[in-house]
Amino acid sequence: MQQTYALYMHKIPVGVMGASGYAGRELCALIHGHPALELAFATANSQSGTTMEVAGGARVPLIATEDAPLQKAALVFSSLPHGASATWVGRARDAGARVVDLSSDLRIGNGPAAAGIPYGLTEVRRDQVRDARVVANPGCYPTATLIGVLPLIEQGLMAPGATISVAAASGVTGAGLTPRLDLLFGEITENYRAYGVGNTHRHLNEMRALVTEVGGDVDLLFTPHLLPTARGILATITVPLVRPLTDAMAPWRDRFGAEPFIELSDAPPEVRHVNHRNVVRIHATMAAHVRTPTLLVFSAIDNLMKGAAGQAVQNANLMLGLDETLGLPR
């Protein structure tokens, strides 16, 4: 039975590994403003021994990951790079902490290490997350895409073998902090381009795996694009249906209508509607002048909030017996 920290008389100590990246910084800021959590440690090997200021004005001392006092944390967030995180997740778990892993290492569809690890798309796997010792936080593109398609698959509205086409655009923080020529200001400003073309993006693994798990016999065609903005994702999803819908929003209203972090919109969402908020905003409409009944779904998130740090805190709240919405901007 997990301990419930209901009155917040004593804040719950949590740690962040990989705190100097975009998602790690966002985590530290959310923890700083959280009424029931306190930061026990934050690690960043490249900036060990320095202090980092985060949104809200908090100054966070950084230490090397090897020096992290894992035993002092009730829960650890791992925002370490893909391929490096799984080892440290194991160490934190062995030290007695629950863990939310923001890397792709333990996500569904990413190899045998992911077996038995709940996939932390909270609105879909809430019961598994609540009792978990380790949760794999979803990627940003999968969060926007899966909330946009799962109700259609679960309700049998797509024919077997149909293809879902996803064109999703993200701000440049989705690429991380590693310096790259193609991410310099002069390369991205006043520009817009596709990347990872050919249906090869690494996030496809977890999207396909969850679609299959809920019974979908469909193909995913996913093309990401780079927006000349810091943050935000807008996905335009084209879905062939077995029949037209007289109420295009009904599948999401039936599936997610009571969810605190899913907003159903009367018009296509914009990234400015969701930035700095832990929400998915959804709109859907039937396409005109096509022979096959086709639904256009628009899904917007903040890639650093609902696509990373915000969803991680949402999962941590559940794992620690807290109100799921605590400390999260809506």
CA dist 37 to 6, 43, 54, 132, 197, Å? 12, 17, 16, 19, 41
Q: Considering 14, 60, 68, 140, which one is annotated as catalytic?
A: 140
Please indicate, yes or no, whether residues 46 and 148 belong to a single structural domain of this protein.
no
Please indicate, yes or no, whether residues 175 and 127 belong to a single structural domain of this protein.
no
Please indicate, yes or no, whether residues 159 and 297 belong to a single structural domain of this protein.
yes
Q: What is the pLDDT of residue 10?
A: 85
Q: What is the pLDDT of residue 6?
A: 47
Q: What is the CATH number of the domain that holds 41?
A: 3.40.50.720
Q: Quick check: 71 and 95 in contact, CB under 8 A? A: yes
Judge if pTM exceeds 0.85.
yes
Taking the CA atoms of 61, 65, 70 and 76 in sequence, report the sign of the dihedral they define.
Answer: positive
Q: Is residue 324 part of a domain?
A: no
Question: Which residues span the domain enclosing 132?
Answer: 12-138+307-319
What phi and psi values does residue 72 have, to the nearest 5 degrees?
-85, -5
Please indicate, yes or no, whether residues 133 and 190 belong to a single structural domain of this protein.
no
Please indicate, yes or no, whether residues 123 and 242 belong to a single structural domain of this protein.
no
Number of domains in the chain: 2
**CA 101 to chain CA centroid, nearest Å:** 11
Please indicate, yes or no, whether residues 234 and 313 belong to a single structural domain of this protein.
no
What does the angle CA 215 – CA 220 – CA 223 come to, to the nearest 5 degrees?
A: 155
Give me the tens of pLDDT residue by residue for the chain, a chain 330 residues long: 344 444 566 899 999 999 999 999 999 999 999 999 999 999 999 999 999 999 888 899 999 999 999 999 999 999 999 999 999 999 999 999 999 999 999 999 999 999 999 999 999 999 999 999 999 999 999 999 999 999 999 999 999 999 999 999 999 999 887 778 888 888 989 999 999 999 999 999 999 999 999 999 999 999 999 999 999 999 999 999 999 999 999 999 999 999 999 999 999 999 999 999 999 999 999 999 999 999 999 999 999 999 999 999 999 999 999 999 999 999
Please indicate, yes or no, whether residues 214 and 238 belong to a single structural domain of this protein.
yes
Strands across the sheet containing 233-240: 193-194, 219-226, 163-170, 233-240, 294-301, 280-286, 262-264
Q: What is the pLDDT of residue 9?
A: 64
Please indicate, yes or no, whether residues 297 and 175 belong to a single structural domain of this protein.
yes
* Gap between the Cα atoms of 218 and 156, Å rounded: 11
Please indicate, yes or no, whether residues 33 and 65 belong to a single structural domain of this protein.
yes
Q: What is the dihedral of CA 206, 299, 135, 6, to 10 degrees?
A: -170
Q: Is residue 80 part of a domain?
A: yes
Q: Is residue 195 part of a domain?
A: yes
Q: What is the CATH number of the domain that holds 259?
A: 3.30.360.10
Q: What is the pLDDT of residue 2?
A: 45
Tell me, yes or no, if 140 is annotated catalytic. Answer: yes
Please indicate, yes or no, whether residues 177 and 244 belong to a single structural domain of this protein.
yes
Q: Is residue 173 part of a domain?
A: yes
Give the helix/strand (H/E) hosting 205. Answer: helix 204-213
